[in-house]
Chains A and B, each alone.
Chain A
Amino acid sequence: MTEAVEQHPLSKYLRAAMMPHIWCSGCGNGIILNAFIQALDELQINLDKLVVVSGIGCIGRAAGYTNVDSFHTTHGRPIAFATGVKLANPELEVVVISGDGDLFAIGGNHFIHAARRNIGIKVICANNFNYGMTGGQVGPTTPLEAFTTTTPYGNIEHPFNLVHLAAAAGATYVARWTTLHVRMLTMSIKKLLQRKGFSFIEVISPCPEIYGRRNRMRTGLEMMEWFKKTAVIANFSDPAKAEINLERIVVGEFVDVQKPTYEELLHNKMAQIMKEGEEG
């Protein structure tokens, strides 16, 4: 006979005191967090050595919900904060979970420079095509002609292709999934956690309450149907050509390469300097 289980098997990964979470029903953020803790569980990550850092926004609350050392920084700055953490203690696994607005508008500079340096931090970006927390304004990923509270006549700004940007800036692992691709996403997060260098996953995530409502997809389900209809997996295709539009969302893994991380180069350099100091 099966015994009644008091607790969810993954509950140790969440902070019960922080529940209920703030996310709307139909929001993709829960799916992303779920995939993340699933990956932690499958890899049996040492939770005492894991740090989750978030910026500001709906998905920014993910740090607080994860039952590990966590820090909810200022808007746009989680990568810069995480850089300090990783360099100060390279033994820590440092994961940034944040929004597209946070990471690529106000924080865009930090993203490209962390990727360029190849600092060993791992970034998971929830891309919901808008600023959810502030009520649905246009952001750097909002598609052309999409409606937001600040583009009431349709967006005229060309959006970033985040996987192309990440690849160009030097990220060593780059992938994109939608929240429909839960299994692939979990697999991808596992890879991300096992990579040494700067690694990046974009997760296309429904924001039915704020973005969907204005763009003819009123429920989370409708947004997931959009993903289902249009997503094509094109692993290791050219990230420059990985488009996102109403007809086609290109997902998959785009980059998986090895190169020395900033921490490795730094510590090698330090060892070399110290050795010369001893000899000289």
Chain B
Amino acid sequence: MTGEKTVLTGVHFMSGDIACAEGAIAAGCRFFAGYPITPATEIAEHIAARMPKIGGIYIQMEDEIASIAAVIGASYAGLKAMTATSGPGFSLMQENIGLAAMTEAPCVIVDVMRGGPSTGQPTLPGQQDVMQAKWGSHGDYEIIALAPSSAQEMFDLTIEAFNLAETYRVPTLVMADEVVAHMWEKVVIPPAEEIRIVNRKKPDMPPEKYMPFMPDDDLVPPMACFGEGFRFHATGLTHDEYGYPRTQSSEAQMRLVQRLCDKIRKNADKIIRVEEQMLDDAEIVVFAYGIVARAALSAVKKARQQGIKAGLVRPITLWPFPEKHVARAAEKAKAIIVPEMNCGQMVREVERAAKGTHVYHIPKLGEEPHTPMEILEFIRRHSK
């Protein structure tokens, strides 16, 4: 191997997309399949330059459907695998995101959100895919979705996404947005030995005893990979613990699909990460994620300077949704304000969790995220 480093320890000036690519590499990702789309393209371009130097695979597939299919294949063949796309490509991937959920293929999908629907606004930011992230494929299932707010978090949360994907054998999404992807910021990459890396749990029984979809107590089955001599079958059909189709059994359907949901739902407290700021006495709570959360934090600080008891809830995991955190903040608050770059998506979850506390949505579409002043204006209005 060359002197090429896999972990670029040091202080860098990087775009979010590049930081994301470096995060993937640092997490151990050695397979990337993708299809170019603004504003996610630089992830692919950076990985295309880096992978061959560190013994990893980059392939540009014929479309996004092929990309996610290849990622699932590579994951089953033993590599940590990722793709990156934006809205239209994310839509195309949905069927196979369901396949990854059903066959418990650990993988990471980065969706750099732009304005939609359809081809929408290729170069402008949005937060319009956050519900698709949760409900995009057909059927009941759970995924994990993380929302970075900075270039640094594009690096950190991409690593986290791989760790969660490997821990729970679940497709894990990084829901970034155009601003976070394209902004250049300081990114600190720690020494390799300080980066926490999780690898999938392997079977410790002989092949004759192995049941590929028999979960442990944590509801996650150990994962054998192709070529390791276990000779197992995996299918997108409803299957039993052996992986064999049981399409006519309502009992098998209930057992499998419930477990796929429960392995995330019952572990939600371990998965969920939230940044909470100034909530102790907060009367006005702002709930914001991604790039918008930065303007929101600035607005909350300005409000405090003006004597308004404002606080911030920033979900780092969008899914599973941090219900308890929102409920706790809502108990004391007069109002929750949700600035979002869409016409109203996560706000519905906030309403559900806030149980009666007034929730106000500040939609914003188009060119730029909410400014701190816009959010401050709202805080002031509702503090009276």
Contacts and interface: CB of A to CB of B under 8 A. Distances in A.
B162 to A, nearest CB: 15
Contact of B231 (A67, A76, A82): A67
Interface SS majority for chain B: mixed
Contacts of A73: 69, 72, 99, 236
Contacts of A91: 227
Given A64-B244, A274-B53, A84 B69 contact: yes
Contacts of B66: 77, 80, 83, 109-110, 113
Interface stretch (A47-55, A140-148, A225-233, A237-245): A47-55
A277 B231 contact: no
B31 interface: yes
A87 B70 contact: yes
B234 interface: yes
A17 interface: yes
Contact of B59 (A68, A87, A109, A273): A87
A82 B73 contact: yes
B55 A270 contact: yes
Interface in A66-122: 67-74, 76-77, 80-89, 91-92, 109-110, 113
B95 A85 contact: no
A216 interface: no
A71 B233 contact: yes
A87 B226 contact: no
Task: Choose among A63, A70, A71, A274 the residue with the greatest number of B CB atoms under 10 Å from its CB.
Answer: A71
Contacts of A266: 57
Contacts of A64: 233, 235, 244-245
A76 B1 CA distance: 38
A186 to B, nearest CB: 22
A158 interface: no
A90 to B, nearest CB: 10
B81 interface: yes
Contacts of B183: none
Contacts of B226: 51, 69, 85, 89, 92
B46 to A, nearest CB: 15
Given A67-B231, A72-B233, A84 B3 contact: no
Contacts of B71: 84
B230 to A, nearest CB: 7
Nearest to A275: B2
A113 B69 contact: no
B81 A88 contact: yes
A15 interface: yes
Given A69-B231, A77-B96, A91-B227, A85 B76 contact: yes
B81 to A, nearest CB: 7
A183 interface: no
B269 interface: no
A6 interface: no
B74 interface: yes
A278 B73 contact: no
A77 B100 CA distance: 13
Nearest to A91: B227
Contacts of A81: 69-70, 72-73
Contacts of A84: 31, 33, 69-77, 81
A273 B3 CA distance: 12
A96 to B, nearest CB: 11
Give 5 nearest A-B pairs by CB, closest first.
A84-B73, A84-B70, A277-B2, A80-B69, A88-B77
Interface of B: 1-4, 31, 33, 52-53, 55, 57, 59, 61-63, 65-67, 69-79, 81, 95-96, 99, 103, 226-237, 242, 244-245
5 contacts: A68-B231, A87-B59, A88-B31, A88-B75, A277-B53
Given A85-B77, A269-B52, 11 more contacts: A15-B233, A15-B244, A18-B233, A64-B245, A73-B69, A74-B96, A77-B99, A80-B66, A88-B75, A92-B77, A113-B66
